[in-house]
Amino acid sequence: MKIAKEEIFGPVLCAQSFGDNDLETIAQQANDTSYGYQVVFGPRAFL
C-alpha cells in the first residue's frame, strides 16, 4: 500500500472490511504487519 510507505502530513485512515468467515485472513494480515498492532471495533454503520 503506497500510502503506508510514504511520509504523509495529515491524518490518514486505512480501513478494510472482512466477512464473517475470514478469521484466518484477518489473522494472517495482522501478523504480517511491520507497523505494530492497532485495532478499532465499532458498529457497522461507523465502519
| Residue pLDDT, tens place only, 1-38 | 666 677 777 777 777 787 878 888 888 887 887 776 66
Q: Into how many domains does the chain fold?
A: 1
pLDDT score for 12: 72
pLDDT score for 41: 67
Close Cβ partners of 47 (under 8 Å, ≥ 6 residues apart): 15, 17
Nearest to 29 by CA among 42, 44, 16, 12: 16
Helix (H, G, I), strand (E, B) or coil at 23: helix
pTM: 0.38
Q: Which domain holds residue 7?
A: 1-47
pLDDT score for 34: 74
